[in-house]
Structure 1
Amino acid sequence: MRILIAALLATASIFSPLNSWAQSADIEATIKTIDVKSMSLTLDDGKTYKVPEEFNFEGLKAGVKVLVFFTMVDGNRVVDDLQIVQ
């Protein structure tokens, strides 16, 4: 029984840091600026969100309200999905 508990604790300790490497979240905010060159958006919360290379900026401009789903990767907010809020 002790071996089983030790094995479970060892497994849990190995996988627990993985959770802190990537955290998903979402935010509803208004676009403040778009920088196509650096592939990023700045929202009215004052934070910058990186977008993937295949991201389509069509229909986006300053003042548009969006719902952004993002993941924290190495201290950067990386957009997973973005929806325009009507």
Structure 2
Amino acid sequence: MRILIAALLATASLLSPLSASAQSMDVEATIKAVDAQKLNLMLDDGKTYKVPEEFNFEGLKAGVKVVVFYTVVDGNRVVDDLQIVD
């Protein structure tokens, strides 16, 4: 029984870095460009962020300061949430 538990813990510890790589991050920046057709935002940090198809672009344009919460998926920054900073 102890060997089984040790094997399960070892397997879990090997898989834990996979879940850590998918953690959410955030950035505060100003929008540089909005492309509603390609579903992405370019921020003044020089990076492009993809948004989901149901994303609402209302109020978003170049010059608007935002906080973007995103996850890196297959090398792409995918927006989980976005807040306009007043």
Q: Deviations over 1:19-58 (max 9, x none)?
A: 32x2310000000000111000000000000000000100
Task: Give the match for residue 83 of structure 2.
Answer: 83
- Between Structure 1 and Structure 2, how many residues are aligned? 85
Q: Distance in 2 between matches of 1:24 and 1:50?
A: 14
TM-score, structure 1 normalization: 0.88
TM-score, structure 2 normalization: 0.88
Q: Distance in 2 between matches of 1:66 and 1:31?
A: 7
Give secondary structure in 2 for the equivalent of 1:23. coil
Task: Give the match for residue 8 of structure 1.
Answer: 9
Runs of 4+ in 1 over 4 A off after TM superposition: none
- Which sections of structure 2, spanning at least 5 residues, go unmatched? none
Task: Give the match for residue 44 of structure 1.
Answer: 44
Sequence identity (%): 67
- Residue pair 1:23, 1:73 contacting (<8 A) in 2 also: no
- Which sections of structure 1, spanning at least 5 residues, go unmatched? none
RMSD, aligned CA: 1.5
